[in-house]
A and B are shown apart, each in its own frame.
Chain A
Amino acid sequence: MNNHDVISTDVLIVGGGPSGLATAIELANKLEQKGVKKRIMLLEKGASIGSHILSGAVIRPKVFKDLLTTKEYDGIPFDSKVTTDVTVKLNDHSQMELPFHPPYMSNDGNYIASLAQVCKYLAGIAESKGVEIYTGFAVDDMLYNEEGKVAGVKTKDTGVDHHGEKQKNYQAGTVVEADITVLAEGTRGSLAKKVIERFNLDSGKNPQIYSLGVKEIWSVPEGNIEAGAVYHTFGYPLKDKSEFGGGFIYGLSDNRVALGLVVGLDYADPRFDTHAAMQIWKTHPYVSKFLEGGNIIEFGAKTLPEGGWNSIPKYYEDNLMIVGDSAGFLTTARLKGVHLAVRSGICAARTAMSAFEKGDTGKKTLAEYEERVNKSFIHKEMYPIRNMRAVMQDGMLLGGLKMGVQLVTGGTCLFVPKVHADADETQKLSEYQGVPFKERFSGKLEFDKKLTFDKVTDVFYSKAMHDEHQPVHLVVNHPDEFQLSNIEKYGLSEEAFCPAEVYELHIDKEGHKSLRLHAENCVHCKTCDIKSPNGGITWTTPYGGDGPEYNYM
C-alpha cells in the first residue's frame, strides 16, 4: 500500500469495550509475570474509551476478580449493589409481579453499573500496565499477508469528501502490522463480519440473530426509585410469539434511572419500531411512575447478539481471535454478556501468551482459545440453553415450557424451530397478515416530549455527531434493488427499525418514493446492517471520534 505509514505491534486489539480491555489487561499481566516484553496496542473508534459503550447494565462481578488484583477490583466504579429484583408481567392496563425469578434471571450479588464508566476505569489500568490505547481511530480494513492470513489492520483514510474525492487535508490511514489481531468490536463488528465471511467461520452454524435495545437514563425526584432496584418486565407492549423481549428499569445512584426495552429483531412486521415501542412502554403506569417529575439525561441504542451457543462462529484463525459480542458471547436468558466478554478476553489473552511462548501465532496454537472457552463458565452457561432463543420463537408460554425441558435435559429439546437471519424474517407489506404496528398503537404515537420522545429528540441526548465531509458510512449495496424491494415492497422498514432516524422515506408530490439518509444521526447500533431486507445496507465505520458521546450508558 503506497503512502501509508506502517507501524508494527505484537498484539493489536480493535475495540475498547470490556472484552478488548480484558484481553489487554490479562495479556499485560501474563507478559509481566513471565518477564516477556511485547507491545500491545488497542484502537477505539469512539472519541474516548466509553463514548460508544452501552449496556443495561447489571453485571456479575465475579469474573473481574479473576482479571484484577483485589485492590484494582475494589476500585471498580460499580454504581449500586442489587437490592431489589422483581420480574413483572405487564398487561395493557395492569401488571403482575412474579413471585419467583425465571431461570437464570436472579441478580443476587450482582451490581448495577455504567459499563462506559467501568471501561474507562479498565482502560486506566491497562495503560498503567503499558498497553498503548489510541482513541478516535476507526479501522476499516483487515490486512492479509501473501499467504492470505490475517496480518493486521488499516485505519481509515480521512480528508475524503462525500463523493470520495481526496481533499487537501487528506491523510492516508496507517497500516498496523500485528502478529496477533484481536477483534473486540462489539456487536456485529464490521471487521469481524469480513473475516467471518472470508474464512467461512460460520459454516455449519446457525445465523447470528440479534435484539435491539433502546435505552434512556433519567434524573428523577428523590423517592421515585431506590438505587440498586432492578425491575424486568415482559408483555406489554410486545405481542407474545411475534415479538420477543422485555423491559428493564434499574435504579442508579443520585436519583437516576436507567431503563430500556430490548426486542428481538426476528419479528415480521416491516413497520415495527422498537424506539416507538419503548416510548409506549414508558407510558404504562408501572413504568411511568418511576419517571414522574423527572427528565431525560441520556439516550442510546445497541444491538445484542442473542443467537446463543449455536450461533457462535469459529472465533479464531491464523493470527486472529474474536472476543466478546463480536463472537456472540452473550447469555440471552440472563440478558448479560459483560462477564462473558471479559472471560473471553481472558481466554484469548492466555492463548496469545501461549502463542508467544511457542513462537507460533497460527491457528494450531490459537485453537487453544476455543479449548479455554470450552473449559470456562462461558460454555457452562451458554451450552445448556443453546436452544433457548430458538424455542422462544414459539412465544413465552410454549417457549418457556421448552426452555424448562432444556434445563432438565441439559439443552436437548425436540421441536427446535429453525433459526433464520433476522433480515429474512421481515415480511413484505403485502405479506404481513398481522395488525401493522402503527394501527396497533394508533393514538399512542404522538410523543409529548416530556415522558415520550420522537427519535430526533432522543438522538440529541446521545450527543451523536458526524463530520459531514466524509463518505456516507451507511452503504446502500444495490440501489436499484433497494428502490424496487426495500422501498416499494417493504415500505422502507429501515425507517421504522432504525432507532435514530437515519433513514427517511420521502414521498414527493407525485407520490414518488425515495430514501433520504441522515447519517449524522447514527448511534452505531448496527440494526440496519442486521435487519435491512435483502442485506440492503452495510454499516461501515465513519471517521474515528464520530458517533455518539455516551457518558453513563
Chain B
Amino acid sequence: MALTIISLMKQVPLPSEMRMGDDGLMDRTKAKSIINVDCGYALEAGLQMKNDNPDAKLIVCSMGPPSFEESLKKALSLGYDEAYLLSDRRLGGSDTYATGLAISTMLKHLGYGKGLNEDFIIVAGRQTSDGDTAHVPSQVAENMHIPQATFIEVANLVDGKIEAKRIIEGGYQMMKLPLPCALSFTPTGISPRRATLSGAVKARNTEITVFNIDDVNLSDENIGLSGSPTIVAKVANIKSERAPIKMSEGHNESELVSSLIKNLKSGKNTIEVKEKKEKKEKKRPEGYEEVDFRNGASGILTWAEVVKGQISRPSLELLTPARELANQLEEGTKVVTLLIGKDIGHLAQELIAHGADEVVVVDDERLEEYRILPFASIFELVINDKNPEIALFAATTAGRELAPRIGVKVDGGVTADCTALEIGEHIDRKNKKIFAPILESRRPTYGESKLATILGFVCPQISTARAGTFEVPTPDANREGIITHFKPELSEENFVSEIIETVIGEGGLQNLFEADVIVSGGRGTVSDDMQLVKELATALNEQGINAEWASSRPVVDEGVAEYARQIGQTGKTVRPKVYVAIGISGAVQHIAGMKEAETIVAINSNAKESIFANADFGIVGEYQDVVPELIEKVKGGFTFGLEVK
C-alpha cells in the first residue's frame, strides 16, 4: 500500500475578527474564516513530501461544524486527494483532550493506526490561533501510540524515515523518526502555496466525506463537555494599560530623533488607572456539597528541564508558582521536581535551594538529551508512584509537547501557556456542588485579548507556565530536601526516534531575558541584513548599557536572524527596561512577547502599523534614515534614559 500523508487542519476565525459567545466558547458564526495559519504550513509540508513521493496519497482531516467544508475544499484545491470532516453537535465544547481522542478515533476508523495500515505520516499545525495550546498533535500521537516531533520547520522523507528540523530554544535539532509518526509544523517553513485554478476546478468536483460520531464509533461520553477533563470557567477582558504613544515630530531624520530624545526626557503619556473596587467576598452558597475530587492525590510535581548541562531558567521560574500553590494547599504539601538526564545528580541541590522539597533523579546515559517518548514514559511512572494533585511544566518547546502527551497517558487535561496559577474553588450551581481545592490556571487567549481561567477535574491537574512570567525564586543554599534516585525500566520502543544533531547558537534566549535594552528588527530591516540594528545594540554596549539585538518572525523566516532571537514565540516573554522595535509591524504574537517592557520605542515607515498602538514613543521614518541618526546620538552619549552602570 502506498504511503498516506494525513494532514490535520482546523478552520479558524480571522484573528482580527474573533468574537466570543457568552458561554466562554468561540462564536464561529460571525467572523470570516480562514485555514489556521500553522495548519497552512502543515498542508504545504504534506504537499512538499508528495513532490518527492509521487505515489503518496494526500488526505486532509478536520473536526468542526459543517462550515469547515470551505477550508477542506481549499485544501483539496491545493492538491489533496481526499477530505474528511468529523462533524457532530455533540462534539461541541470538547477540550483538547477530547479533540485529540476524537480525531485519532476518526483516523483509526479510516484504517490508520498500529496494527492497521501503518504506512502513514500525520502532519499538523503547531497550534491554532483561536486556541493557542499546541496540544492536539501530541495528544493524537499518544492516542495513536506513535512517535512524534513537534515545532518542525521542514521535514523530508528519506529512505523510509522522516528527517525533521525541530525548532528549540536557542537553536534547532535534526531528528530522525520511523513511520508512522506525527509531525507538527511551525509557521516558519515553506509558505503555503496558493491554489491553482485547475486545482480549484478539481476540488469543485470532489466530495468531502462527513462523519458523525456514530459513524466512527465514538461514544458521546468521551467527547464534548462530558468527555473533557477541563472546562473554561471564566473569561475576562485584558485591558491595555499602555497610554497613547508620543510621536516624534520633524521634517527630517535628525529632527525626528531629536524630538524622540526630548519626548523620552519628558516621560511617557499616562492614563488614569481607576482604582479597582474592592472585590466583594463571594458568598458561598449554602447547602452545597463540598467535593474534594483529588481522591488522595497530593503534592505538586514539576519538571526540571536540563539544557547544555544546566537547569533551564524557565524550570527554575516554575518553582515560584509551585511553592506558592503548595503554601495555599494543606500544610505539608510538597513540591517534587523530576530531574532527568545524564550525569545530572549534582543539579538536585540547586533545585532544593530554589524551593523543591524533593528531587527525583533519573540518571541514564540514554537520556542525555530530551526526547519525548522516554521522558513521557518516566513521567507516567513517577505520576503513578507519587500521585501528585498538580503537575507543572515550563511552556518551552519541550514542555508544551510533553505535558499533553503525559495528559493522555494519565487521562488528564492540560492548560497551556499560563500566566497565573492559583488555588481556588469551583461552584457547580447545577449540581449544587463545590469543587475545592482546585487549580485555577489562567492563560491569555484570543490574540492576547482575553484572560481565560481553565479548571481541570482530574489529577494531576496539568499546566504549562509561560517562560518569563514568574521570577526565579531567590535560592537558599541551606535549604534542605530529599533527593531520591529512580531507575525506570525503559523499553527500546521509547528510543525509536533519534536526535542526529542539536545546534544552539550564541546569544538568544538567555541574554534576551537579562538585557536592559533590546533592539529588535522586523521585516523593514532585512534590506541590510539588520546591520544597523546590530550597530545600534553595539553602540549601546559601548556606552556601558547591557543591550542585545533580537528580531520578529519575518526576519527569522528570511534567514537573517536565528530563531533564538525571535521575540514573539509563544511561551516567551521578555521584559527589558527599553525595547526598541524597528521596522516591526506589531503582530499579536510579537506584542505579547514584549509588551512587559518598561518603555517601548517604535520606529516604522508605516504610520498605520499596529506597533504604534503598543508603544510609548514613536517615529515614523525609514529604517535606513532614522537608525544611523540614532546610532550617532548613542555614540554621543544618548542611552534611552538609562543610567550607565
Residues of chain A at the chain B interface (Cβ within 8 Å): 5-7, 43, 132, 134, 136-137, 155, 158-159, 167-174, 176, 454, 456-457, 459-460, 468-469, 506, 508-509, 516, 518, 543-545
Contact = CB atoms under 8 A, between A and B. Distances in A.
B217 interface: no
B621 to A, nearest CB: 10
7 contacts: A7-B197, A136-B195, A159-B191, A168-B190, A454-B607, A456-B607, A509-B252
B81 interface: no
A173 B201 contact: no
A454 B608 CA distance: 10
A137 B605 CA distance: 30
Contacts of B192: 169
Interface in B189-206: 190-201, 204
Given A5-B198, A172-B196, A543-B194, 9 more contacts: A5-B199, A7-B197, A134-B197, A167-B191, A168-B190, A169-B190, A171-B194, A176-B197, A454-B607
B622 A506 contact: yes
Nearest to A460: B608
Contacts of B622: 506, 516
Contacts of A171: 193-196
A88 to B, nearest CB: 33
B606 interface: yes
Contact of B608 (A137, A456, A545): A456
Contacts of B200: 134, 137
B625 A508 contact: yes
Contacts, number: 68
A352 B196 CA distance: 27
A325 B114 CA distance: 61
Interface centre among A6, A158, A169 (most CB of B within 10 A): A169
Contacts of B625: 508-509
A132 B201 CA distance: 9
A174 B197 contact: yes
B523 interface: yes
A174 B194 contact: no
B252 A137 contact: no
Nearest to B200: A134
Contacts of A159: 191, 193-194
B333 interface: no
Contacts of A457: 608
Interface string B593-613: 000000000000111100000
B44 interface: yes
A7 B198 contact: yes
B543 interface: no
Interface string B231-273: 0000000000000000000001110000000000000000000
B226 interface: no
Given A132-B204, A509-B253, A469 B191 contact: yes
B589 interface: no
The majority secondary structure among interface residues of chain A is mixed
Interface in B273-323: none
B377 interface: no
Nearest to B628: A509
A517 to B, nearest CB: 12
B212 interface: no
Contacts of A506: 622
A465 to B, nearest CB: 11
Contacts of A454: 607
Nearest to B252: A509
B191 A155 contact: no
A169 B197 contact: no
Contacts of B523: 468
B48 interface: yes
A174 B196 contact: yes
B608 A173 contact: no
Interface centre among B44, B195, B253 (most CB of A within 10 A): B195
Contact of B606 (A43, A170, A174, A518): A518
A7 B201 contact: yes
A170 B190 CA distance: 10
B554 to A, nearest CB: 8
B606 A456 contact: yes
B557 to A, nearest CB: 10
Nearest to B44: A169
Contacts of A132: 201, 204
Contact of B196 (A5, A168, A456, A509): A5
A174 B198 contact: yes
A43 B191 contact: no
Contacts of A170: 193
A151 B608 CA distance: 44
Nearest to B622: A506
Report the 8 A-B pairs with minimum CB-CB distance, sorted nearest first. Answer: A5-B198, A174-B197, A169-B193, A158-B194, A174-B198, A456-B608, A168-B190, A155-B197
B69 to A, nearest CB: 16
A155 B191 CA distance: 20
Contacts of A158: 193-194, 196
Contacts of A7: 197-198, 201
Nearest to A504: B605
B285 to A, nearest CB: 44
A545 B191 CA distance: 16
Contacts of A137: 197, 200
Contacts of B197: 5, 7, 43, 134, 137, 155, 173-174, 176
Contacts of A544: 194
A459 B608 contact: yes
B54 to A, nearest CB: 15
Nearest to A139: B197
Interface centre among B190, B194, B254, B523 (most CB of A within 10 A): B194
Contacts of B195: 136, 171
A137 B523 CA distance: 27
A155 B622 CA distance: 35
Contacts of A155: 196-197
Nearest to B557: A469
A22 B254 CA distance: 57
A46 B196 CA distance: 15
A509 B628 CA distance: 12
Contacts of B191: 159, 167, 169, 469
B9 to A, nearest CB: 17
B196 A173 contact: yes
Contacts of A134: 197, 200-201
Contacts of B252: 509
A155 B196 CA distance: 8
A168 B48 contact: yes
A531 to B, nearest CB: 24
Contacts of B190: 167-169
A545 B193 CA distance: 13
Interface in B155-201: 190-201
Contacts of B198: 5-7, 174
A460 B606 CA distance: 12
Interface string B444-484: 00000000000000000000000000000000000000000
A192 to B, nearest CB: 20
B524 to A, nearest CB: 11
Contacts of B606: 456, 518
A532 B256 CA distance: 31
A508 B608 CA distance: 22
A507 to B, nearest CB: 8
A320 B199 CA distance: 26
A170 B252 CA distance: 41
Contacts of B607: 454, 456
A158 B192 CA distance: 11
A379 B250 CA distance: 56
A468 B190 CA distance: 15
Nearest to A546: B194
A140 to B, nearest CB: 12
Interface centre among B198, B201, B606 (most CB of A within 10 A): B198
Nearest to B32: A549
Interface centre among A6, A171, A454, A456 (most CB of B within 10 A): A171
